[in-house]
Amino acid sequence: MQASEAEKPRIVILISGNGSNMQAIAEAVHNKEIDAEIAGIISNRPLAEGLTKAQAMGLHTDIIDHTLYASRDEFDHALIRMIEDLKPDLVVLAGFMRILTADFTRYFEGNLLNIHPSLLPKYQGLNTHQRALDAGDSEHGVTVHFVTEELDGGPNAIQAILPILDIDNAKALQQRIQVQEHIIYPIAVKWFCEGRLSMEGQHAFLDGQELPASGVQLRS
Ligand code: NHR
Ligand code: GAR
């Protein structure tokens, strides 16, 4: 039986910039590849290009400018309230660029996903493409993981792996990785919305089986 609109899992997506991952997920919902509802898009940057994209798709958008808050704590508590108003089942970080406090990550733990452009646990933090090149790595990639207090340290759900080519630079790598991001993020969100992907006690599970530390790996 088709679930009625009111019963569909509700997704809130947090962005700071371009919003291409937000768009990939919203399109997968629109195309009914994911049986869910986009409850809203929230940006901490008032001028994020992703806001325009979300509005063009007819999605609800909210802005919460972190520069107007005196501390990370106050910002995160206001952000929790704004997200809660949208009654989410899943919160998705899609190029969201503010480090979140433990109060925030604990509040949504198990229902909070992020996409990070490296083969986690390698290269947590920023500048990942250049760091993979500088290290002379033969492979690089992107990971969808559950968010915990530890930055880029929560359990992995899925990662896409790409070879690094002799002629690569950070920009070329970033472009090839973005193509993979738009494939694996909708897959992870779909699994979550179907109740197949979950987090229990710092481990990720798919279909009741604990995933390896890498998560599911897609190699191209
Ligand atoms: N917060 C927690 N607690 N845990 C994670 O795993 C998080 C998180 C917040 C964001 C995304 C992230 C990434 O995938 C993310 C994961 C921003 C920074 C950062 O240094 C680091 C990691 C991530 C996002 N932000 C600077 C800050 O001071 C600001 C940088 C900027 O505005 O450009 O918050 O890598
Ligand atoms: C994505 O490439 C994502 O992996 C990266 O930011 C980009 C956002 O693109 N995330 C981080 O670097 C987190 N530190 P988008 O706004 O077009 O989705």
Written in H, E and C, the secondary structure of 112-146 is EEEEECCCCCCCCCCCHHHHHHHCCCCEEEEEEEE
Catalytic residue among 116, 129, 140, 145: 116
Whether 116 is catalytic: yes
- pLDDT tens column, 64-101: 999 999 999 999 999 999 999 999 999 999 999 999 99
Tell me the pTM: 0.96
| Distance in Å, CA 117 to ligand 1 centroid | 12
Task: Identify any residues that bridge with 156 across adjacent strands, giving them in sequence order.
Answer: 145
Residue 22 CA, closest ligand 2 atom number: 18
Residue 23 CA, closest ligand 2 atom number: 18
- pLDDT tens column, 5-20: 568 999 999 999 999 9
For residue 166, give Cα distances in angstroms to 73, 136, 137, 160: 44, 10, 11, 19
Residue nearest to atom 8 of ligand 1 (CA): 99
Residue nearest to atom 10 of ligand 1 (CA): 99
Long-range residue pairs from 208-213, CB within 8 A, at least 24 positions apart, any chain: 211/155, 211/156, 211/157, 213/121, 213/155, 213/156
- In whole angstroms, give the CA distance from residue 9 to residue 196: 13
